[in-house]
Structure 1
Amino acid sequence: MTIQVAKLSDPAVRAFVTAVNAHDRDAFQAVLAPGATMSDDGADRDLADWTDREIFSSRGHMEVDNESNGGRALIARYNNDTWGEMKTRWSFIVDDGGRITRFETGQA
Protein backbone atom coordinates (compact mmCIF):
# COMPACT_ATOMS: atom_id res chain seq x y z
CA MET A 1 0.00 0.00 0.00
CA THR A 2 1.59 3.24 -1.11
CA ILE A 3 1.37 6.36 1.04
CA GLN A 4 0.56 9.46 -1.01
CA VAL A 5 3.44 11.93 -0.80
CA ALA A 6 1.08 14.70 0.34
CA LYS A 7 0.13 12.53 3.36
CA LEU A 8 3.69 12.00 4.65
CA SER A 9 3.83 13.18 8.27
CA ASP A 10 7.08 15.16 8.40
CA PRO A 11 7.07 18.36 6.31
CA ALA A 12 10.81 18.19 5.50
CA VAL A 13 10.61 14.55 4.44
CA ARG A 14 7.48 15.31 2.40
CA ALA A 15 9.39 18.13 0.64
CA PHE A 16 12.38 15.80 0.06
CA VAL A 17 10.27 13.07 -1.57
CA THR A 18 8.32 15.66 -3.60
CA ALA A 19 11.58 17.16 -4.92
CA VAL A 20 13.05 13.74 -5.75
CA ASN A 21 9.94 12.65 -7.64
CA ALA A 22 9.71 15.97 -9.52
CA HIS A 23 13.47 15.90 -10.32
CA ASP A 24 13.58 19.43 -8.90
CA ARG A 25 17.18 20.17 -7.87
CA ASP A 26 16.34 23.62 -6.49
CA ALA A 27 13.57 22.31 -4.25
CA PHE A 28 15.82 19.42 -3.20
CA GLN A 29 18.64 21.78 -2.23
CA ALA A 30 16.17 24.03 -0.39
CA VAL A 31 15.11 21.24 1.98
CA LEU A 32 18.72 20.38 2.88
CA ALA A 33 20.53 22.27 5.63
CA PRO A 34 23.93 23.77 4.76
CA GLY A 35 26.57 21.07 5.13
CA ALA A 36 24.03 18.22 5.02
CA THR A 37 25.48 14.72 4.84
CA MET A 38 24.26 11.31 3.73
CA SER A 39 25.15 7.64 3.65
CA ASP A 40 24.21 4.77 1.34
CA ASP A 41 24.31 1.21 2.70
CA GLY A 42 26.25 2.42 5.74
CA ALA A 43 29.01 4.28 3.87
CA ASP A 44 29.17 8.07 3.84
CA ARG A 45 28.95 9.46 0.32
CA ASP A 46 29.54 12.82 -1.34
CA LEU A 47 26.04 14.29 -1.28
CA ALA A 48 26.25 16.27 -4.54
CA ASP A 49 27.83 13.41 -6.50
CA TRP A 50 25.48 10.76 -5.11
CA THR A 51 22.28 12.75 -5.64
CA ASP A 52 23.29 13.67 -9.18
CA ARG A 53 24.04 10.05 -10.06
CA GLU A 54 21.32 8.24 -8.09
CA ILE A 55 18.46 10.76 -8.32
CA PHE A 56 18.72 13.47 -10.94
CA SER A 57 20.63 12.05 -13.92
CA SER A 58 18.97 8.64 -13.51
CA ARG A 59 15.40 9.88 -12.91
CA GLY A 60 15.00 8.54 -9.38
CA HIS A 61 11.51 8.04 -8.00
CA MET A 62 10.24 7.02 -4.55
CA GLU A 63 7.00 5.17 -3.78
CA VAL A 64 6.65 5.20 0.01
CA ASP A 65 5.17 2.02 1.53
CA ASN A 66 5.63 2.77 5.23
CA GLU A 67 6.70 5.55 7.57
CA SER A 68 7.75 5.48 11.22
CA ASN A 69 9.59 7.66 13.76
CA GLY A 70 7.16 10.55 13.21
CA GLY A 71 7.62 10.33 9.45
CA ARG A 72 11.42 10.50 9.60
CA ALA A 73 11.95 6.85 8.67
CA LEU A 74 10.58 5.42 5.42
CA ILE A 75 10.41 2.13 3.59
CA ALA A 76 10.08 2.91 -0.10
CA ARG A 77 10.30 1.28 -3.49
CA TYR A 78 13.01 3.31 -5.18
CA ASN A 79 13.37 3.23 -8.94
CA ASN A 80 15.96 4.81 -11.22
CA ASP A 81 17.26 4.22 -14.73
CA THR A 82 20.52 2.74 -13.42
CA TRP A 83 19.33 0.10 -10.95
CA GLY A 84 15.63 -0.41 -11.70
CA GLU A 85 13.39 -0.86 -8.68
CA MET A 86 14.55 -1.87 -5.22
CA LYS A 87 13.10 -1.83 -1.74
CA THR A 88 14.93 0.81 0.27
CA ARG A 89 14.99 2.29 3.74
CA TRP A 90 15.47 6.00 4.41
CA SER A 91 16.03 7.83 7.68
CA PHE A 92 16.24 11.58 8.14
CA ILE A 93 17.61 13.98 10.76
CA VAL A 94 15.79 17.31 10.62
CA ASP A 95 17.03 20.47 12.38
CA ASP A 96 14.89 22.91 14.37
CA GLY A 97 14.46 25.02 11.24
CA GLY A 98 12.81 22.13 9.40
CA ARG A 99 15.72 21.33 7.10
CA ILE A 100 17.35 17.93 6.66
CA THR A 101 20.88 17.76 8.08
CA ARG A 102 21.46 14.09 7.25
CA PHE A 103 19.77 11.25 5.45
CA GLU A 104 20.72 7.61 5.32
CA THR A 105 19.49 5.14 2.75
CA GLY A 106 20.15 1.58 1.73
CA GLN A 107 18.49 -1.60 0.66
CA ALA A 108 15.74 -2.76 2.99
Structure 2
Amino acid sequence: MIKPDQLVDPAVRSFVTAVNSGDQEAFHATLTPGATMSDDGSDRDLTDWADREIFSSRGHMSVEKQTDDGRSLIVDYRNDTWGEMRTAWRFTVSDGRISRFETGQA
Protein backbone atom coordinates (compact mmCIF):
# COMPACT_ATOMS: atom_id res chain seq x y z
CA MET A 1 0.00 0.00 0.00
CA ILE A 2 1.05 3.58 -0.64
CA LYS A 3 0.84 5.86 2.38
CA PRO A 4 -1.13 9.07 1.76
CA ASP A 5 1.94 11.23 2.43
CA GLN A 6 3.68 9.43 -0.46
CA LEU A 7 1.07 10.39 -3.05
CA VAL A 8 2.62 12.52 -5.79
CA ASP A 9 -0.13 15.08 -6.44
CA PRO A 10 -0.62 17.46 -3.47
CA ALA A 11 -4.38 17.93 -4.10
CA VAL A 12 -4.97 14.17 -4.32
CA ARG A 13 -2.81 13.64 -1.23
CA SER A 14 -4.96 16.17 0.70
CA PHE A 15 -8.16 14.52 -0.59
CA VAL A 16 -7.11 11.02 0.56
CA THR A 17 -5.90 12.36 3.90
CA ALA A 18 -9.23 14.17 4.48
CA VAL A 19 -11.26 11.08 3.57
CA ASN A 20 -9.21 8.82 5.83
CA SER A 21 -9.42 11.22 8.79
CA GLY A 22 -13.17 11.82 8.31
CA ASP A 23 -12.52 15.57 8.05
CA GLN A 24 -15.37 17.08 6.02
CA GLU A 25 -13.98 20.61 6.21
CA ALA A 26 -10.58 19.54 4.90
CA PHE A 27 -12.28 17.41 2.22
CA HIS A 28 -14.30 20.34 0.89
CA ALA A 29 -11.19 22.55 1.03
CA THR A 30 -9.53 20.21 -1.52
CA LEU A 31 -12.30 20.95 -4.03
CA THR A 32 -12.85 23.89 -6.35
CA PRO A 33 -16.17 25.74 -6.12
CA GLY A 34 -18.63 23.82 -8.28
CA ALA A 35 -16.53 20.63 -8.31
CA THR A 36 -18.27 17.61 -9.82
CA MET A 37 -17.98 13.84 -9.54
CA SER A 38 -19.25 10.59 -10.95
CA ASP A 39 -19.66 7.13 -9.46
CA ASP A 40 -19.64 4.12 -11.80
CA GLY A 41 -20.14 6.43 -14.79
CA SER A 42 -23.12 8.39 -13.42
CA ASP A 43 -22.80 11.98 -12.28
CA ARG A 44 -23.84 12.43 -8.65
CA ASP A 45 -24.46 15.33 -6.30
CA LEU A 46 -21.01 15.60 -4.75
CA THR A 47 -22.09 16.85 -1.31
CA ASP A 48 -24.81 14.22 -0.91
CA TRP A 49 -22.58 11.44 -2.23
CA ALA A 50 -19.64 12.36 0.02
CA ASP A 51 -21.85 12.49 3.09
CA ARG A 52 -23.41 9.10 2.33
CA GLU A 53 -20.42 7.21 0.88
CA ILE A 54 -17.59 8.74 2.92
CA PHE A 55 -18.48 10.57 6.09
CA SER A 56 -21.62 8.97 7.57
CA SER A 57 -20.33 5.50 6.60
CA ARG A 58 -16.71 5.99 7.73
CA GLY A 59 -15.07 5.64 4.33
CA HIS A 60 -11.38 4.81 4.05
CA MET A 61 -8.98 4.67 1.08
CA SER A 62 -6.00 2.27 1.03
CA VAL A 63 -4.07 3.23 -2.11
CA GLU A 64 -2.54 0.32 -4.06
CA LYS A 65 -1.24 2.18 -7.09
CA GLN A 66 -0.92 5.68 -8.52
CA THR A 67 -0.40 6.65 -12.16
CA ASP A 68 -0.87 9.72 -14.37
CA ASP A 69 1.34 11.91 -12.14
CA GLY A 70 -0.64 10.81 -9.10
CA ARG A 71 -4.03 11.77 -10.51
CA SER A 72 -5.25 8.20 -11.07
CA LEU A 73 -5.42 5.75 -8.19
CA ILE A 74 -6.32 2.12 -7.63
CA VAL A 75 -7.74 1.90 -4.11
CA ASP A 76 -9.11 -0.67 -1.72
CA TYR A 77 -12.05 1.44 -0.54
CA ARG A 78 -14.14 0.46 2.43
CA ASN A 79 -17.09 1.91 4.29
CA ASP A 80 -19.71 0.67 6.71
CA THR A 81 -22.38 0.47 3.98
CA TRP A 82 -20.66 -1.58 1.26
CA GLY A 83 -17.67 -3.16 2.97
CA GLU A 84 -14.46 -3.25 0.95
CA MET A 85 -14.11 -3.04 -2.82
CA ARG A 86 -11.35 -2.38 -5.32
CA THR A 87 -11.98 0.99 -6.95
CA ALA A 88 -10.41 3.30 -9.51
CA TRP A 89 -10.27 7.06 -8.87
CA ARG A 90 -9.42 9.72 -11.46
CA PHE A 91 -8.91 13.35 -10.51
CA THR A 92 -8.93 16.56 -12.52
CA VAL A 93 -6.90 19.23 -10.74
CA SER A 94 -7.19 22.95 -11.49
CA ASP A 95 -5.07 25.56 -9.72
CA GLY A 96 -4.07 23.07 -7.03
CA ARG A 97 -7.59 21.90 -6.18
CA ILE A 98 -9.79 19.09 -7.45
CA SER A 99 -12.42 20.22 -9.94
CA ARG A 100 -13.72 16.72 -10.73
CA PHE A 101 -13.23 13.18 -9.60
CA GLU A 102 -14.55 9.96 -11.04
CA THR A 103 -14.71 6.71 -9.14
CA GLY A 104 -15.97 3.23 -9.85
CA GLN A 105 -15.16 -0.41 -9.40
CA ALA A 106 -11.74 -1.37 -10.76
Q: Could you state the TM-score of these two structures normalised by the residue count of structure 2?
A: 0.99
Counterpart Cα distance in 2 of 1:43 and 1:26: 25
Structure 2 counterpart of 1:105, from 68, 91, 103? 103
Which residue identity is paired with 1:44?
A: D
CA apart distance, 1:9: 0.2
> Structure 2: which amino acid aligns with 1:100?
I
The alpha carbon displacement at 1:3 in A equals: 0.4
List 4+ stretches of structure 1 deviating above 4 A. Answer: none
CA RMSD for the aligned pairs? 0.3
Question: Aligned partner of 2:71: which letter?
Answer: R
Give the TM-score, by structure 1 length.
Answer: 0.98
TM-superposed CA distance for 1:20, in Å, is 0.1
Identity of counterpart residues, as a percentage? 67
Deviations 1:51-98 (CA, angstroms, capped at 9, x unpaired): 000000000000000000000000000000000000000000000x20
> After superposition, where does 1:30-49 map in structure 2 within 5 Å?
30-49=29-48
Structure 2 counterpart of 1:35, one-letter code: G
Runs of 5+ unmatched residues, structure 2: none
Taking the aligned partners of 1:85 and 1:23, their CA distance within structure 2 comes to: 17
5+ residue gaps, structure 1, are: none
